[in-house]
Structure 1
Amino acid sequence: MSESGPEAVHSTSGSGETRIYGIRHHGPGSARSLRSALEAFRPDMVLIEGPADADPLVPHMASAAMEPPVALLGYVADEPARAAFWPYAVFSPEWQALRYAVENGIAVRFCDLPAAMALAVEDSGNGRDALAELAAAGGYDDAERWWDAVVESSTDAATFPAITEAMATLRETARIEPASDSAAATGPGPADASAAPGGPTTVPGSHTAEATGPGDPHPEPLVLDRHTLVREAHMRQVLRQARKDGARRIAVVCGAWHAPALCDPLGPANADQRLLKGLPKVKAKLTWVPWTHSRLAAASGYGAGVPSPGWYHHLFTATEHPIASWLTKVARLLRGHDLPVSSAHIIEAVRLAETLAALRSRPLAGLSEVTEATRAVLCEGDDTVLRLVGAELVVGEALGAVPAETPTVPLEADLRAQARSLRLKQEALSRTLDLDLRKARDIAKSRLLHRLRLLGVHWGVPETGTAGSTGTFRETWELRWEPEFAVRVIEASRWGTTVQAAAEAKILDTAGGDGSGVAELTDALEFALLAELPGALDGLIHRLGSAAAIDHDITHLLAALPGVLRTLRYGDVRGTDTSALAQVADSMLVRICAGLPAAVTGLGDETAAALRAQLDTVNTAIHTRNDTESTQRWLAALARLADRPDIHGMLTGRMVRLLCDAGRFDSDEASRRLAAALSIGNTAGAKAAWVDGFVGGRGLVLVHDRALLRLVDDWLAGLTGDQFMEVVPLLRRTFGAFESGERRAIGSAVRDTGPGAPAARTEIDTERGALVLRAVAEILGVPA
């Protein structure tokens, strides 16, 4: 290897000249320096660290619709959940190399292991971060600060040979890991300073082990693991093939850790062939997908992540006065949150950042200096406000875009078309979407979002209480697009080629499982209504009817019936025909009425309380349906049970109360039954349970019906001390569940109706009444 220029480590041979550019992924300084070096070198081929089978996707880079951050997505064709991303931002050196090659008509190839190999096995990388070693040698305790100071704040192309030389020295001290079955290719180990995109980030959410810092008392050694050696062997093979294909001036862009391994002499090809021979492969597919800044952040678990993608994006795009323009952005953000920031604040913050940089012998203020200036001047020492700046600007958020012609599965194409027609934009930032289901476009948006939820693509999350709100014309959603949804859409494509067809197929398959009972089928039916899946409704209704016919547990039917009745009552809000459900609902009600006598016998307190809650829910649902035949059947069943002496008092009291509310029993009948329940023949506990069932959750009945209140009051007044202590826990639970206003009203009523209460005044003051009538007539605009 000979050196004849500062731009990169390069070599000349009979086949031409090759220059190696060792970079760090997602570094604006590296990206700017690399672009300048490529323009000076003018190669006729560019090799870039990335999956070699992604070469057919390079032409899409020329589209004006391609907007970073984006990522190469590779997935196993028969198992889409096995997937990996190779992300790129505008400040990624690889992205700038791709743009340079495409814009200048230069041949470009990816040279790392193909996704077909990378997805076949899993990585077990381990060891110490090479950048941490260099940072420690430079007197830094943080590798990020060292790289930011030495590389990112500079555009000097001479850093490439220096970094490569430093990496070569470190590799001489590295321990070579012996071959093992666990060595793999789904992501870089911490010892791999190149990290992804050369080694992808896997899905879902893989995390690499954290590298030890330079101050660790027992640091792990640098490691050249088998996975790294295999990747480098493949890179050398691609470089050899490029020379064989006639390329004379080759630029190789790779992670700095790999740069020494790609310098001439490359060594015998047979050795690399032996390393690559027999590697497992899968059938992989690749495409471009949008990515986000937050997924580039190291905090997301991305192995090659950077701590400040928003800051790096600013450094790369703001070429003039980057510090002043950054602090102006900070001021604009704080003003948007109603915090007072003036121009004087910005000027003082710029001065402080530049002074700190000068004191630290830095050519330009970096993120640490800008952050300290922001905290001291703009945030006035408030770390809470500083965290806001960090989340919204330092990390920031941006969602890229890919051309419509990018290869994808039919389901993804259908989703894009629907989102475009409904004007639903995929955005990385959360936003609230209010829908009025009386409008055709809004109901179409609701259907799409519900169908995607069914497919596991939670682009929209309904606000609490609105997920199943079929009885309202309004829905509120929180929309946020995550890059991982691209994988879930591909996974869901096995169910169908359109969103509707896939959702119908999946819900029918899920509902047809062995564990699907009446409750699960009812939930599925409600979801099918929300998502408007007509192709699934008939099948779900048939399965629900069959499940209800063979389910002998009445509590299951009680739990499921309200959902069915809600669908019947509110289905027309969305224009869905649900008439076929009526027969299923009637059949379920008949079975419930027939099975209740056996279900309410011999119950303990807790079971009786749970059944009481179910009776309340079913009673409300039946009355809401407003079907006379069903209502009469239900009330007749309750009336038969209310006369039985062998039922838990809590249930008997509640049945009497429900019959009173429905007009089957009048107040005299209710008083008679209450008096009988409180008679001397029953225990104090049984009496308290009956009272709890009768008035539990409905305290106003005692306020408005003084006869009932007097009976309860007389019973309580007649209890002995032991009897009172026995029933007080249940009574406390009963009366404690009342609203505070109800309790005050009951207390006032007891005071007014108890012994010594003042006699009720029956005389009417006609003069005052006439004044009231005239005032009301004047308000209503009618003659007095």
Structure 2
Amino acid sequence: MAKPVQRLSGHERLNDAADGVHLFGIRHLSPSGARHLLSFLNDIRPTAVLVEGPSDASHLISQIASRGVVPPIALLAYTEEIPVRSLLYPLAAYSPEYQAFLWASREGAACEFIDLPSGHALALHGLKEKEAAERDEEERARYIRYHNGIYEHIAELADEPDYDAYWERYFEHNGNIGAYRSAIQAFSERMRQLTAEEELAYWPQETAYTDIREAYMRRRIQETIAAGHLPARIVVVTGAHHVSALGSDKPAMTDEERERLPLAPTRLTLMPYTYYKLSSRSGYGAGNRTPAYFQLFWECLHEDRLSELPKRYMSSLAAVLRDKGTYRSTASVIEGVRMAEALASMKGGSQPTWQDLRDASVVCLGGGEVSVVSEAHARIDIGTAIGLLPEGVSQTPVQDDLNRELRRLKLDKYKTPVAQNLELDLRENRRVQSEDAAYLDLNRSVLLHRLELLGISFARKLPLRQDAATWAEHWTLQWTPETEIGAVESTLKGETIEIAAAYVIHERLQTCTNIVEAARIIRMASLCRLLGAMDEAQRMLQTLTVDSDHFEGIAEAAFELSALIRYGSIRRHDTSSLVPLLQRLFLRGALSLGDAANCNNDAAASVLSAVQMLHSVAQEHYQDVDESLWMRELRRLASRDDRNPKLSGFGFAILLERDEYSPKDIEQEVSRRLSPGVSADLGAGWFEGVALLNRYALLSRASLWGQLDTYIGSLDDDQFRRSLVYLRRAFSSFEPREKAAISDMLGDLWGAGADETSILLQRPLTEEEKEKLDELNDFDFGEL
């Protein structure tokens, strides 16, 4: 039976001037705040519990309090237009708001949010951010320094290492509800006074936003009274900062004022959350440093065993250390608890704070070394817990679809904040009976690529090892709140993962202006098994190819199609329609090779990469493309003196690797390129291109090194220094064994003996030699 209002004299009723309404100020993640609030609610027995939060989300409170929900969770509000702006309202089991929802659900009381609706809040946030961006950055930084400095000064006056330690000792450990309410309200009022003038001067948009919110909350309180709830049976749960502003002595927002508020269309959903994101270490401003520790704090409070917190905490640390192979005795745990209690008594505290426990654990369990217990601290202080929302609890269509797909593909076990590796074999598994099981990894790959395309950060593809097969994929999977947010935002693109991914492909095609991007979109559509989008992208590429004459772009587009055609069968869809497009691109690329090679050394790097791509296409698809045309164009490039020498040398190297030259042809070309009188830019630059490919072909031709030696010896001092720049680049990629082979050949050429020459060339450089090499880094190439 509800207790009569007359028995309220046992509690200090603060700011109850709002017609007798009870205002309960809280910190958003406060175990003691939650415990005191429950006690207050049990005493008051309100018929209405009003909570700071978006008022258009009140219909979700019953779901938040429903059976099967496991905090931490979060309420997410997001705009219906792209780019998406969002507001997040995280809740832990020890959040006073969450406990208020449970109490109201259990006792049958009305429970509603009373803060600005999300549409108004997000619209005002946008205006606030715009105005803040226009203000002087130094002014804003000055306010932030001033604001943070107040908290630092409070901790200093209390002889605490930081503000969090101060808060825990003086508020979380305050077991008297009346004293707690008095202290938290007085503290918040004073802090509000200290920051008001500075905030108004340097961050006025924040002040205006707070004023609007509080006027709206006063309006909602009055509306609740008008709906028939007695003021004395209404409890308002709000951040302590707002308590002094919610009394009836200040005006509520009028209808006219509400009509003038900006509005952005929004949607609301619930999502699982994690302790790490709940912590202030992740950047969440209303968080605390140790959410898992405060969960342990809450459990001890709930069991009326707060005095057991130190030994539970220290025992948990020791257990984690033992699991990791670092044994700590029971005596060490006892000593740790005693030291923490001694540290607390020195500060006049009733029991240790987290900081006291941490310091004691470093000494008694870590031997004075933080690194020994750092991992254990992370697990016990922050934790790896992730919330749970059962089926039927409000989620967006994409969230529901994603959860179904994870279950279907047996990936739901990876729905954890701890990163895990996943290796996929895309080939058919012939040892199983059903088709779904036979292509399980392939279907997993499709989903992971779709999530990657949508920006849903669940999976990150890892580079394959050099010897790994082309049918393999390696991924790292990790579930984070950002994963859930990405899924929510994707609802704006479609109602399923597949539809949303197809929408993204379509969007990209609308802004696609070059053949490289079009080819990449085709490949992405293939990886995501979006065949309709793939056809659309193919038509776009065909259109763009007609007017494209950019050699590097043509080569890259052809390379993308080549990879897709080569491995299309693994992904179980027909890529034969891409072959004519590949042929067209290859033909245009081959015919433009000579013009592209007419460039300087800066541009040569990208052209060289494009040559490698086209040559790879010629090798992989020799039956489909005109390989003989490609070889003719390479021979023409290799023989020309009016093209970039490095590219001519690289063309020569490809032909040399293909055994397209006779020994006599090789000797004539080397002699022509490295003859005395040829400048270093041409001769050494040509050799740099040759050295990029097939080292065995170079090392097996002693005559080439003899010709290079003669050529270098013929250069004057200036040309010699110029040649060193090219040669240094050329030899930088040689392996040690290859450099040793060159030393042996040069030793024979110079008549100094291979061993002596090798020792001489591989000895440590002198300081003078190092200085001369450093000079090459700043060498002036003039107009080259």
Superposed counterparts of 1:195-210, under 5 Å: none
Q: Provide the C-alpha distance between the structure 2 equivalents of 1:708 and 1:138, rounded to a whole number of angstroms.
A: 80
Q: Which stretch shifts more, 473-482 or 382-391? A: 382-391
Following TM superposition, by how much is the alpha carbon of 1:347 offset from its aligned partner in structure 2, in angstroms? 1.8
Superposed counterparts of 1:295-314, under 5 Å: 295-314=277-296
Whichever residue aligns with residue 159 of structure 1, its letter is: A
The answer on 1:32 being equivalent to 2:28 is: no
Partner residue, 1:549: 546
**Does the 8 Å CA contact 1:51/1:115 hold for their aligned counterparts?**
yes
Following TM superposition, by how much is the alpha carbon of 1:638 offset from its aligned partner in structure 2, in angstroms? 1.7
Q: Provide the C-alpha distance between the structure 2 equivalents of 1:640 and 1:72, rounded to a whole number of angstroms.
A: 66
Following TM superposition, by how much is the alpha carbon of 1:528 offset from its aligned partner in structure 2, in angstroms? 2.2
Partner residue, 1:607: 603
The answer on 1:642 being equivalent to 2:646 is: no
Whichever residue aligns with residue 447 of structure 1, its letter is: V
Whichever residue aligns with residue 5 of structure 1, its letter is: S
Partner residue, 1:698: 694
After superposition, give the CA deviation of every residue in 1:427-458 in whole Å (9 maximum; x if it has no partner). 22322222222352222222112111211222
Following TM superposition, by how much is the alpha carbon of 1:703 offset from its aligned partner in structure 2, in angstroms? 2.4
Partner residue, 1:99: 102
Following TM superposition, by how much is the alpha carbon of 1:662 offset from its aligned partner in structure 2, in angstroms? 2.0
Whichever residue aligns with residue 240 of structure 1, its letter is: Q
The answer on 1:427 being equivalent to 2:416 is: yes
Q: 1:98 to 1:707 in 2, by over 3 A?
A: same
Q: 1:431 to 1:447 in 2, by over 3 A?
A: same
Q: Provide the C-alpha distance between the structure 2 equivalents of 1:498 and 1:420, rounded to a whole number of angstroms.
A: 15
Partner residue, 1:444: 443
After superposition, give the CA deviation of every residue in 1:49-106 in whole Å (9 maximum; x if it has no partner). 2121111112213433311111111122345612101111111111111111112322
Partner residue, 1:584: 581
Q: 1:173 to 1:707 in 2, by over 3 A?
A: closer
Q: TM-score, normalised by structure 2?
A: 0.82
Partner residue, 2:682: 686
Following TM superposition, by how much is the alpha carbon of 1:28 offset from its aligned partner in structure 2, in angstroms? 0.7
Q: Provide the C-alpha distance between the structure 2 equivalents of 1:273 and 1:176, rounded to a whole number of angstroms.
A: 27
**Does the 8 Å CA contact 1:471/1:570 hold for their aligned counterparts?**
no
Superposed counterparts of 1:704-743, under 5 Å: 704-716=700-712, 724-743=720-739
Q: 1:49 to 1:629 in 2, by over 3 A?
A: closer
Partner residue, 2:612: 616
Q: What's the secondary structure of 1:574's corresponding residue? A: coil
Q: Provide the C-alpha distance between the structure 1 equivalents of 2:201 and 2:261, rounded to a whole number of angstroms.
A: 12
Whichever residue aligns with residue 543 of structure 2, its letter is: S
Q: 1:750 to 1:373 in 2, by over 3 A?
A: same
Whichever residue aligns with residue 166 of structure 1, its letter is: A
The answer on 1:595 being equivalent to 2:599 is: no
Q: 1:3 to 1:116 in 2, by over 3 A?
A: farther
Indicate which of 279, 283, 295 corresponds to 2:261: 279
The answer on 1:52 being equivalent to 2:55 is: yes
Partner residue, 2:190: 170
Q: Which stretch shifts more, 578-587 or 468-477? A: 468-477
Q: Which stretch shifts more, 320-329 or 716-725? A: 716-725
Partner residue, 1:780: none
Q: Which stretch shifts more, 52-61 or 661-670? A: 661-670
Q: Provide the C-alpha distance between the structure 2 equivalents of 1:552 and 1:21, rounded to a whole number of angstroms.
A: 71
Q: Provide the C-alpha distance between the structure 2 equivalents of 1:721 and 1:229, rounded to a whole number of angstroms.
A: 77
Q: Provide the C-alpha distance between the structure 2 equivalents of 1:305 and 1:551, rounded to a whole number of angstroms.
A: 54
After superposition, give the CA deviation of every residue in 1:343-375 in whole Å (9 maximum; x if it has no partner). 332121111112222232222211111011011
Following TM superposition, by how much is the alpha carbon of 1:2 offset from its aligned partner in structure 2, in angstroms? 9.8
Q: Provide the C-alpha distance between the structure 2 equivalents of 1:25 and 1:469, rounded to a whole number of angstroms.
A: 53
**Does the 8 Å CA contact 1:32/1:155 hold for their aligned counterparts?**
no
Indicate which of 317, 331, 354 corresponds to 2:318: 331
**Does the 8 Å CA contact 1:151/1:159 hold for their aligned counterparts?**
no
**Does the 8 Å CA contact 1:28/1:93 hold for their aligned counterparts?**
yes
Q: What's the secondary structure of 1:48's corresponding residue? A: strand
**Does the 8 Å CA contact 1:80/1:490 hold for their aligned counterparts?**
no
Q: 1:111 to 1:307 in 2, by over 3 A?
A: same
Q: Provide the C-alpha distance between the structure 2 equivalents of 1:697 and 1:455, rounded to a whole number of angstroms.
A: 39
Q: 1:371 to 1:136 in 2, by over 3 A?
A: closer
Q: Provide the C-alpha distance between the structure 1 equivalents of 2:685 and 2:117, rounded to a whole number of angstroms.
A: 72
Partner residue, 1:192: none
Whichever residue aligns with residue 534 of structure 1, its letter is: L
After superposition, give the CA deviation of every residue in 1:539-570 in whole Å (9 maximum; x if it has no partner). 22222222222112223212332222122222
Q: Provide the C-alpha distance between the structure 2 equivalents of 1:246 and 1:134, rounded to a whole number of angstroms.
A: 43
Q: 1:428 to 1:173 in 2, by over 3 A?
A: same
Whichever residue aligns with residue 283 of structure 2, its letter is: G
Whichever residue aligns with residue 597 of structure 1, its letter is: G
Whichever residue aligns with residue 624 of structure 1, its letter is: E
Partner residue, 1:202: none
Q: Provide the C-alpha distance between the structure 1 equivalents of 2:203 and 2:712, rounded to a whole number of angstroms.
A: 75
The answer on 1:564 being equivalent to 2:571 is: no
Q: 1:725 to 1:168 in 2, by over 3 A?
A: closer
Whichever residue aligns with residue 287 of structure 1, its letter is: T
Indicate which of 292, 299, 311 corresponds to 2:274: 292
Structure 2: any 5+ residue segments left out of the alignment?
133-139, 430-438, 755-784
Q: Which stretch shifts more, 644-653 or 121-130? A: 121-130
Q: 1:560 to 1:531 in 2, by over 3 A?
A: same
Q: Give the structure with the higher percent helix.
A: 2
Following TM superposition, by how much is the alpha carbon of 1:715 offset from its aligned partner in structure 2, in angstroms? 4.3
Following TM superposition, by how much is the alpha carbon of 1:136 offset from its aligned partner in structure 2, in angstroms? 7.9
After superposition, give the CA deviation of every residue in 1:462-488 in whole Å (9 maximum; x if it has no partner). 12458x999622222222233234443
**Does the 8 Å CA contact 1:138/1:146 hold for their aligned counterparts?**
yes
Q: 1:546 to 1:172 in 2, by over 3 A?
A: closer
**Does the 8 Å CA contact 1:60/1:403 hold for their aligned counterparts?**
no
After superposition, give the CA deviation of every residue in 1:6-63 in whole Å (9 maximum; x if it has no partner). 4452799999x74332221100111122223322333222121212111111221343
Partner residue, 1:403: 390
Following TM superposition, by how much is the alpha carbon of 1:138 offset from its aligned partner in structure 2, in angstroms? 6.3
Partner residue, 2:226: 244
Q: Provide the C-alpha distance between the structure 2 equivalents of 1:374 and 1:337, rounded to a whole number of angstroms.
A: 16
Indicate which of 414, 417, 429 corresponds to 2:404: 417
Q: 1:616 to 1:237 in 2, by over 3 A?
A: closer
Q: Which stretch shifts more, 24-33 or 313-322? A: 313-322
Q: Provide the C-alpha distance between the structure 2 equivalents of 1:432 and 1:575, rounded to a whole number of angstroms.
A: 25
Following TM superposition, by how much is the alpha carbon of 1:535 offset from its aligned partner in structure 2, in angstroms? 1.8
Whichever residue aligns with residue 401 of structure 2, its letter is: D
Superposed counterparts of 1:146-225, under 5 Å: 146-163=166-183, 166=186, 170=190, 225=207
Q: Provide the C-alpha distance between the structure 2 equivalents of 1:685 and 1:365, rounded to a whole number of angstroms.
A: 74
Following TM superposition, by how much is the alpha carbon of 1:147 offset from its aligned partner in structure 2, in angstroms? 2.2
**Does the 8 Å CA contact 2:523/2:560 hold for their aligned counterparts?**
yes
Q: TM-score, normalised by structure 1?
A: 0.82
Structure 1: any 5+ residue segments left out of the alignment?
190-224, 759-784
Q: Provide the C-alpha distance between the structure 2 equivalents of 1:29 and 1:634, rounded to a whole number of angstroms.
A: 77
After superposition, give the CA deviation of every residue in 1:717-771 in whole Å (9 maximum; x if it has no partner). 666666544423322322332111111122224445775989xxxxxxxxxxxxx
Partner residue, 1:235: 217
**Does the 8 Å CA contact 1:462/1:478 hold for their aligned counterparts?**
yes
**Does the 8 Å CA contact 1:28/1:91 hold for their aligned counterparts?**
yes
Partner residue, 1:114: 117
Q: 1:80 to 1:287 in 2, by over 3 A?
A: farther
**Does the 8 Å CA contact 2:555/2:614 hold for their aligned counterparts?**
yes
Partner residue, 1:525: 522
Q: Which stretch shifts more, 40-49 or 442-451? A: 40-49
Q: What's the secondary structure of 1:495's corresponding residue? A: coil
Q: Percent identity?
A: 27
Q: Provide the C-alpha distance between the structure 2 equivalents of 1:169 and 1:71, rounded to a whole number of angstroms.
A: 28
Q: Provide the C-alpha distance between the structure 1 equivalents of 2:652 and 2:155, rounded to a whole number of angstroms.
A: 80
**Does the 8 Å CA contact 1:12/1:18 hold for their aligned counterparts?**
yes
Q: How many residue pairs get matched?
A: 713
Q: 1:712 to 1:65 in 2, by over 3 A?
A: same
After superposition, give the CA deviation of every residue in 1:218-254 in whole Å (9 maximum; x if it has no partner). xxxxxxx443343333333333333333334222222
Q: Provide the C-alpha distance between the structure 2 equivalents of 1:14 and 1:489, rounded to a whole number of angstroms.
A: 42
Q: Provide the C-alpha distance between the structure 2 equivalents of 1:64 and 1:304, rounded to a whole number of angstroms.
A: 27
